[in-house]
């Protein structure tokens, strides 16, 4: 798990991760035992409904925001027996700043 501390690292991670908006096929219907390590120091169940799925990437990667305001990019591996690997994680505030930087028009009306 890579802890991103700096806005440039986050921007780099976002562009390398090929994030897409979640879609109709986005499902986190996994067993309760499937947890990922989060930057907030906790482990969260991938199927936890309190998580916000911010984005997805092919094939089974999810960008979660947990209630402790940490963003984690998680890769679910395996078919019959899944494991969740956290690729990177950062504070939600830093993530937001990176998004604002990447898409400067997003906040302008």
**Which residues here bind Zn ion, judged by CB under 5 A?**
38, 40, 42, 66, 68, 70
d(CA 108, CA 28): 32
Nearer to Zn ion, 38 or 90 (CB): 38
Asked if 93 and 55 touch (Cβ cutoff 8 Å), the reply is no
Nearer to Zn ion, 24 or 49 (CB): 49
Strand ranges in the chain using DSSP code E only, listed in sequence order: 2-3, 35-37, 43-45, 52-57, 61-65, 70-77, 83-91
Nearer to Zn ion, 35 or 56 (CB): 35
Q: What is the DSSP letter of 20?
A: B
Sign (positive or negative) of CA dihedral 95, 83, 34, 62? positive
Nearer to Zn ion, 52 or 102 (CB): 52
């Amino acid at each position: 798990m890579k802890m991103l501390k700096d806005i440039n690292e986050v921007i780099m991670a976002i562009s390398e991760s090929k994030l897409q908006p979640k879609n109709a096929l986005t499902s986190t219907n996994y067993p309760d035992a499937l947890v990922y390590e989060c930057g907030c120091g906790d482990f969260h169940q991938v199927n936890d409904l309190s998580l916000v799925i911010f984005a997805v990437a092919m094939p089974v990667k999810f960008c979660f925001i947990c209630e402790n305001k940490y963003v984690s990019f998680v890769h679910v591996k395996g078919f019959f027996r899944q494991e969740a690997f956290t690729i990177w994680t950062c504070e939600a505030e830093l993530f937001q700043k990176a998004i604002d930087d990447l898409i400067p028009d997003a906040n302008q009306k």
